[in-house]
Amino acid sequence: MQLKRQEEQFKKMIEELSKKETFTLKDFKKEISDHIKQTSSGIKRLWAGSQPEEAQLILQRKILNAIKEEELADPQCINTETKQEISQVVQCSVEDVNSTLRMFRVQKSLHQYLKARSERGDYLPTNNEELHSMLMTDRPPRTKEQKIAKQPRFSKAQMRYLGYKF
């Protein structure tokens, strides 16, 4: 019963992520708050592969609450000084702020991956194991060199000139 409920919640989370146009810090903040409510009410949910402790979630929520609205809308404008200000307001380390922002970037990349699969009409995972195996097999290139290596070396016009047919 509990496992079935977790799988339903996981499916719901995956569908929500894949249907969102963009994923911002505001969405991440809402997810953290929802997860804290569910954890405190006794309902545990599969969330990005692991179950963070409630204290860590509360710290993340405090950090996200300390971020200004314009920074929530555009996380690119969060620089070192801003991170130091946030850490002073929340009374935590800059590493905690960086960790929270790193988790946001991971969640955002998951959103982009799921959205791309949804747009292609590919199968969306129904449980955490399926998601993990999909991420391992569909792994995007990690470095700039790997991205460049995956790009075609010639344009279509150049390929036609070389005699390739499409």
Report the alpha-carbon distance of residue 127 to residue 114 in Å, rounded: 13
Report the alpha-carbon distance of residue 157 to residue 11 in Å, rounded: 43
Question: How far is C-alpha 127 from the chain's CA centre?
Answer: 16
Q: Answer whether 104's CB lies under 8 Å from 25's CB.
A: yes
Handedness of CA 103, 105, 108, 113 (dihedral sign): negative
pLDDT digits (tens, 9 = 90+) for 97-125: 999 999 999 999 889 888 888 888 888 88
Give the CATH number, domain containing residue 97: 1.10.260.30
Rg of the chain in Å (alpha carbons): 20
Q: Quote the domain boundaries for residue 129.
A: 2-161
pLDDT digits (tens, 9 = 90+) for 13-62: 888 888 888 888 998 998 888 877 776 654 444 444 445 577 888 899 99
Q: Answer whether 37's CB lies under 8 Å from 58's CB.
A: no
Q: Evaluate whether residue 119 is within a structural domain.
A: yes
Q: Evaluate whether residue 166 is within a structural domain.
A: no
Q: Answer whether 97's CB lies under 8 Å from 63's CB.
A: yes
pLDDT digits (tens, 9 = 90+) for 151-163: 667 777 777 777 7
Q: Evaluate whether residue 39 is within a structural domain.
A: yes
Domain count, the chain: 1
* 52: region left, alpha or beta (phi > 0 left; psi from -120 to 50 alpha): beta
Q: Evaluate whether residue 38 is within a structural domain.
A: yes
Q: Evaluate whether residue 79 is within a structural domain.
A: yes
